[in-house]
Amino acid sequence: MIRTMRLEDLEQVEALEQQCFSDPWTLDSLRYELEGNPFSTPYVFIDDQDQTMIGYAHLWITFEQAQLANIAIAPQYRKQNKGSILLKHLIEIACAQECETMTLEVRKSNQAAIALYEKFGFSPINVVKRYYSDGEDAILMGIGF
């Protein structure tokens, strides 16, 4: 089940953020996305059987533009099509909101994520030099609807 994130999800989301990323968002950042950013709609992906958090995502929608700000799948659920399910859901939301495009940034070294995005039709637009705090470049990718 994919649903809108709730305040009570934040501790699990933060733990998953720490597991998945070398430069994780802080609890304050996650709370801001939930309560303070008027353009952000965060989602959680919950296992229907045991209510475990499979993953989460933050989608920013401003007018006709959607941006995938963050997406994560718990390590134990990877390579099970869960990332595809969550990304497809986000694309459907962007289309329902009449967005014309969707963009994201991804680490240049994250070949698994790049392959997932390409599977859904995203293509490279630009390279953002030293985008991440460790100096790694990001690939800006996008898709039109």
Catalytic positions, please? 105, 117
Give backbone dihedrals phi and psi of 112, rounded to 5 degrees, phi first.
-65, -45
Does residue 51 come out as left (phi exceeding 0), alpha (psi in the -120 to 50 range) or beta?
Answer: left
Q: How many CB atoms lie within 10 A of CB 43?
A: 20
Q: 102 burial class (0-12, 13-18, 19+ CB within 10 angstroms)?
A: buried
One-letter amino acid for residue 43 of the chain: Y
Q: Is the dihedral of CA 53, 6, 116, 108 positive or negative?
A: negative
Which ranges in the chain belong to alpha helices (H)? 10-20, 27-35, 82-96, 111-119
